[in-house]
Structure 1
Amino acid sequence: MDTAEIRRRFVAHFERNGHQAVPSASLLLDDPNLLFVNAGMVPFKPYFLGQETPPYRRATSVQKCVRTPDIEDVGKTTRHGTFFEMCGNFSFGDYFKQGAIELAWELVTRSREDGGWGLEESRLYPSVYDDDPEALELWKKITGLPEERILRLGKKENYWSMGVPGPGGPCSEILYDRGPAYGPDFDAARLGPDMPFALEDRLLEIWNLVFMQDELSAVRSKSDFDIAGSLPKKNIDTGMGLERVAFLLQGRENMYEIDVMFPVIEKAMELTGRRYGAGGQQGHEDDVRFRVVADHVRSSMMLIADGVVPGNEARGYVLRRLLRRAVRSMRLLGFEDRALPELMPVSRDKMGETYGELHRDWERISTVAYAEEDAFRQTLRAGTAIFDLATTELRSGGGSQLSGDKAFALHDTYGFPIDLTLEMASEQGLSVDEAGFRRLMTEQRERAKADAKAKKGQHRDARAYREVADSLGRAVEFTGYTDVVTEGAVRGLVTAGGVVASAREGDEVELVLDRTPFYAEGGGQLADQGVIELENGALLQVRDVQSPITGLVVHKALVLSGEVTPGLAAQGRVDIERRRSISRSHTATHMVHKAFREALGETATQAGSENSPGRFRFDFSATGSVPTSVMQDVEERVNDLVLADLAVHAELMSQEDAVKSGAMALFGEKYGDQVRVISVGDWARELCGGTHAHRSGQLGVVKLLGESSIGSGVRRVEALVGGDAYRFLAREHVLVAQLSEALKVRPEMLPERVHDIVEKLRTAEKEIEKVRLAQLLANGAQLAADAVDVNGVKVVAHRADGAGGGDVRTLALDVRGRLAAGEPGVVVIIGSTGSGADTKVAVVAAVNDQARSRGVSANELVRAVGPLVGGRGGGKDDVAQGGGGDASRLDEAIALVGTEVARATGQPGA
């Protein structure tokens, strides 16, 4: 049974049993605790936490998930991968334990001819939480299994929570016995509360049923928490690993060998000439690498499809690691050419049977992935050069082991993988301090975990908002698409302390109206501002508008006068000029987005935006900087369409119809079943809930200010719209006129004239530098002639005011070369520049071979002088340099040189 059919049967089974089929959400959700959706229940969290009212009592989904805590262990086990699909069914206060058990058991055991999966009952072992006798009795009753076939496990295995205060509850798992080839024989009735490690491969968990019944008040760890009481509504959350069931039903050894993954391994075998499953130590290592390739290619592709681009932080860093580990694994398998263009299309063709966007967006997805591989191949070349330098230094010092610090720097700073370091060191007969490397990696990982833990508890406490929303009984009506003044009524007041009964002059409050013209910040558009006036004369200044939970709009306002209480009639008045200015910016963003896609291709997809009064910034995917000519073309294209005065109109339709109509949907945005499509003429179409100009002509003019990088693969364009753009251009015109007048050229000749002036200045600066250096070195002969004899060593100690570090070094080496051949000689030059806090002192010591044979070291001289100039330094015995920030004791420092030479030559009193 192929994976697509397993998925289809799962969804069909629950649809037949009254569940709403919910499409998979994006892998990217706005959750401070998660980089990616990592479980099927994540999109439903607001319902389980009581932040929002679910629109259905029963639901089912097959959710895309990514888990990345143990990326380095992927492929070493047969059960874990980074990307996976979690099938789940959910009940929100509807059926509970009995219903969940019945539905799961029915699908698992029903014959394939009748639409089930047909797993043998004799191989199935349910498990229950050892303090949940109710579940134990239900399993016996529903399945007819004897009690000794049901495992009783402890909190670690069979109690679920989110890791923060909130809902939790016991679990029941369905385990599949894979037979004695995968672990020792066992007696289910005698197993303790912890699943023995030796049985984890044999008793494979395929489905976890969570009975969400408890309210947790303090969660200290997975197995240490307080139960405050029972939830008012008991819920069901289940998770079934699609890949695990697939490899069981397809008769495969592990998830990497199922129909949607193994073709990538087959292609990798073809490219490398290695064989998967060859056996032996080398075969085992190769198998791990093949699995890494299959997993990471698929995971990377799915992440890019949902809008992630490679980077050095957060989601981008995870994607970069996945892509680079896949490429690295192919290299370790012996394939050094570009691998992703060979492998990723294979994964696309299999996963694209379910996720059509992989085919629709392939140009963008492949461009991002292949560019990252090319960048990594350059990194490998650079890392190899750095590795070679490190090994040369190691050998010159007589060493044979590369330090953990060096290996970690190669890995962390240069992106050079440790296993390549190990491989290359082995080829050169060297070892690597792996223990030191692992220690540094662990320290880094612990810091990351501590940072993640510090973010725990950032779930918004939505109880006050939920209370107001429940009392309202429906979503707040937004009238702002057509009106900027709306009559309504106060329905709730919220402060930091929760829901309040009133607010007075000077109070800051979050006010909820039943109807509002104010746009809540979202989709890159800043919130409206304005005033709310109540029937009793009270007046509030609206400073911000947010939607903390779905369907609720809160106005963050300052009470200017009077008293505010729920029930009062209210009139909301939007600052119309601000609204119009922001709306123009938002429409301009859509137009610029479309123009960049025309100019750069479909890969130039929006990655973020901010629409402010009179200006906007627009982030988009790009593999490199945007040429000036393209910026000019985009600006010209947009302004031509501004002049065309195209109608801007909105339509409501299903998301499916919107996509079919050619409307762009932005990655990571949350859309409902009905979406709003904004069209600028018949040219730009995009899903958008924001406010817009009525016609493109209302934008007046759009001026792109420039573009820059804000991360790997993401560029940012900033622009002005309307009056702000006009005023900017007017200032630019005045500036150009002033420059033309000053330089006596026509405006179009300014760039050439300025270029000529800059070139002349550069030439003059070079000539001045030559003259200055010649003057500095002109003193060299006299300084050498004036050398003082200290115990038979010619010493020059000179203060060069106004000379910087480079000049000081040049002079010191020049003077040393002028000293009489064959005589011991020492030169110390101390220069200073700047004054006060900006003072910089440079010290250079140069010692010839004869002086070094007498015991004089340039390194020791600089170390001795350093404290007197407020700094330090060092180097080799022949030349050393240092610096500081204190020029008050330079004469003392000069005098100290002779003393140090006398001490070094054995006669400190000389």
Structure 2
Amino acid sequence: KDGDPAVEVSGDFIFKLYDTYGFPVDIVRDIALEKGIGFDQQGFSDAMENARDLSRRQSKTEQFAELPPGVVELLEQGKQSVFSGYTGVEGESVVEAIIDEQGSCIQQVAAGDRVQLFCPATPFYAEAGGQVGDTGQINWSGGSFTVESTRAVAEGLVLHGGVIDSGKLAVGQEVSLKVDNNRCATTLNHTATHLLQAAMKQVLGDHVKQAGSQVRPDRLRFDFTHFSPVTHDERVAIEQLVNAEIRRNIPVETQVLSKDEAIAGGATALFGEKYGDEVRVVSIAGFSKELCGGTHAGATGDIGLFKIISETGIAAGVRRIEAVTGAGALLWVQNLAAKADQLAQLLSGTFDDAPEKVSALLKQQKELEKEVAALNASQALSGLDELLGGAVEVDGMQIVCGQISLDSPKTLREVGDKVRDKMKSGVAVLGGEFGGKAALLALVSKDLTDRIKAGQLVKEVAAIVGGKGGGRPDMAQAGGPMADKLPEAMKAVPGIVATLTGADQ
């Protein structure tokens, strides 16, 4: 009823309009004000919060349904992992849970068993943000466990996957944890990834955004948005910028800030990534500032050397760079130098002379290929009269078919043109082997295309060599993988022509 303040649009009804039909809340409010009736804002807010709470509970239930029973058990117990690996690669803890290969919690394991261990404190980094999980050893009195993977199976719950090397292990055992040397190489690659992104923004433009990454001990991979391949000069400029920052040996600083404070301070956030209220900011003064939970070098100089080894496109508007750092970069350069020496020896000169010598060799090869092609064409044409002389008659039509030697598909067409010129009226099918495959050409003179089509003919012949083809009524090409069937295919041509023209009926 208009103008009656006792009448109110209930919060539940407003929420139903919004949630079920997508009706904007603002419009409902405006109509209520226009009509002079009440608008239950608090009721709507309560209904919205109830819906969110229900969604969270359903999401948690669905999440638990997909997890192994042992993991669910740990989550229900409120188990959480504290990461101590930012300040070191070793730590002491207790094994509070063992999960077997079936996903169930068990009390004890022995040598050879593959399990996942939960320790409330760990220096092992769990795979996240593109950085691979740490590997290493967990030791105790009388036994050891090789950590092959470290994963966060749920938020805040980290498991160490691997195999018991020796001894027995029971829940409650005190252990020593030690990350292996791969961590050091991984941290160098991770810091280099930050330098790479900042350098690309300077060289390519601010439109460059991270579209994915992988940081491993042996190399780094960085996917980014860009509209064209990165040119050689751009790659050189990016490498120079990154290596200049490495030589500056700037400390890599980390801070834990509120998300809003970090973004306001200029930190780069990854689009689509979920962040908590507090975030970790990794900064390289004057060059890079990003939100990142990964492990990093103490200073840029620790990286030593940065080298891009590949740049490719992986999707529309998305490029990928792979690079190496530190000892891996040095090894890559040394391998490259070794290959350069081998090439120089093969060319009987220095590496500086290699481009000129290779160009000369390629030029010579092209000239020789032309000579070979001319000789093959001459040889093929020399037998042209013999080929035409072997013509047979089918239903009043001259049929020429034969196999010729080929050095390229072009030779087949050249011989075909000569046959057509000399044949005047008739049908010809030529075949040859090139690159281990059969190549076919069918020709039909203009006066006979109303009786037989070259496309139909070559299709039937190609079936014998395991292929298919087609073309115009007067000329068609085909190919097939069974070059050894060419003699059989040529022999079958007169019969195929007879069938297609109805002469065999």
TM-score range, shorter chain: 0.7 to 0.9
Deviations 1:105-138 (A, max 9, x none): xxxxxxxxxxxxx998857478xxxxxxxxxxxx
Could you tell me how far 1:732 is from its partner in structure 2? 1.4
Deviations 1:20-75 (A, max 9, x none): xxxxxxxxxxxxxxxxxxxxxxxxxxxxxxxxxxxxxxxxxxxxxxxxxxxxxxxx
CA distance in 2, matches of 1:887, 1:741: 40
Asked if 1:898 corresponds to 2:503, the answer is: no
CA distance in 1, matches of 2:486, 2:177: 72
- Give yes or no for contact 1:804–1:841 (8 Å, CA) kept in 2: no
- Give yes or no for contact 2:133–2:150 (8 Å, CA) kept in 1: yes
2:244 is matched with which residue? 640
Could you tell me how far 1:530 is from its partner in structure 2? 0.9
CA distance in 2, matches of 1:741, 1:833: 34
1:845 is matched with which residue? 442
- C-alpha change, 1:469 and 1:906, in structure 2 (3 Å) is closer
2:116 aligned to 493, 500, 510, which one? 510
SS of residue paired to 1:511: strand
RMSD: 3.2
CA distance in 1, matches of 2:110, 2:4: 67
- C-alpha change, 1:122 and 1:801, in structure 2 (3 Å) is farther
Alignment of 1:698-713 (within 5 A): 698-713=302-317
SS of residue paired to 1:663: coil
SS of residue paired to 1:553: strand
CA distance in 1, matches of 2:219, 2:309: 10
Deviations 1:554-573 (A, max 9, x none): 11121122222221111111
2:17 aligned to 195, 198, 205, which one? 205
Asked if 1:486 corresponds to 2:87, the answer is: no
CA distance in 2, matches of 1:532, 1:713: 44
2:203 aligned to 578, 599, 622, which one? 599
For residue 172 of structure 2, what is the amino acid of its counterpart? G
For residue 281 of structure 2, what is the amino acid of its counterpart? V
- C-alpha change, 1:846 and 1:642, in structure 2 (3 Å) is same
SS of residue paired to 2:18: strand
SS of residue paired to 1:738: helix
- C-alpha change, 1:125 and 1:730, in structure 2 (3 Å) is same
Could you tell me how far 1:814 is from its partner in structure 2? 2.4
CA distance in 2, matches of 1:475, 1:905: 82
1:521 is matched with which residue? 127
Asked if 1:793 corresponds to 2:397, the answer is: yes
Alignment of 1:133-532 (within 5 A): 174=13, 205-207=17-19, 244-250=24-30, 460-461=66-67, 464-471=70-77, 473=78, 475-495=80-100, 496-532=102-138
Could you tell me how far 1:777 is from its partner in structure 2? 3.3
- C-alpha change, 1:539 and 1:659, in structure 2 (3 Å) is same
- C-alpha change, 1:652 and 1:859, in structure 2 (3 Å) is closer
- Give yes or no for contact 2:14–2:25 (8 Å, CA) kept in 1: no
CA distance in 2, matches of 1:463, 1:121: 54
- Give yes or no for contact 1:584–1:614 (8 Å, CA) kept in 2: no
CA distance in 2, matches of 1:643, 1:596: 18
**How many residues are treated as equivalent by the alignment?**
473
1:807 aligned to 411, 429, 436, which one? 411
Q: Which runs of 5+ in 1 are unaligned?
A: 1-117, 127-172, 177-203, 209-239, 253-455
SS of residue paired to 1:670: coil
2:454 is matched with which residue? 858
- Give yes or no for contact 2:376–2:406 (8 Å, CA) kept in 1: no
CA distance in 2, matches of 1:251, 1:767: 88
2:432 is matched with which residue? 831
CA distance in 2, matches of 1:485, 1:787: 87
Deviations 1:224-255 (A, max 9, x none): xxxxxxxxxxxxxxxx95x6113334569xxx
1:573 is matched with which residue? 178
For residue 555 of structure 1, what is the amino acid of its counterpart? H
- C-alpha change, 1:499 and 1:902, in structure 2 (3 Å) is closer
- Give yes or no for contact 1:468–1:491 (8 Å, CA) kept in 2: no
CA distance in 2, matches of 1:508, 1:903: 69
Could you tell me how far 1:782 is from its partner in structure 2? 4.5
- Give yes or no for contact 1:626–1:707 (8 Å, CA) kept in 2: yes
CA distance in 2, matches of 1:800, 1:120: 99
Could you tell me how far 1:593 is from its partner in structure 2? 1.1
Could you tell me how far 1:481 is from its partner in structure 2? 1.0
Deviations 1:838-860 (A, max 9, x none): x422232211133445x344344
CA distance in 2, matches of 1:125, 1:646: 61
TM-score by length of structure 1 reads 0.48
CA distance in 2, matches of 1:844, 1:817: 15
Could you tell me how far 1:749 is from its partner in structure 2? 4.8
1:70 is matched with which residue? none
1:734 is matched with which residue? 338
2:324 is matched with which residue? 720
CA distance in 1, matches of 2:263, 2:501: 86
1:139 is matched with which residue? none
- C-alpha change, 1:741 and 1:804, in structure 2 (3 Å) is closer
Could you tell me how far 1:630 is from its partner in structure 2? 1.2
CA distance in 1, matches of 2:63, 2:73: 20
Q: Which runs of 5+ in 2 are unaligned?
A: 33-61
Larger RCO: Structure 1 or Structure 2 (Cα < 8 Å, ≥ 6 residues apart)? Answer: 2
Could you tell me how far 1:514 is from its partner in structure 2? 1.6
- Give yes or no for contact 1:608–1:618 (8 Å, CA) kept in 2: yes
TM-score by length of structure 2 reads 0.84
CA distance in 2, matches of 1:875, 1:543: 59
1:628 is matched with which residue? 232
- C-alpha change, 1:631 and 1:885, in structure 2 (3 Å) is closer
1:687 aligned to 271, 291, 298, which one? 291
For residue 567 of structure 1, what is the amino acid of its counterpart? G
Asked if 1:882 corresponds to 2:478, the answer is: yes
SS of residue paired to 2:267: coil
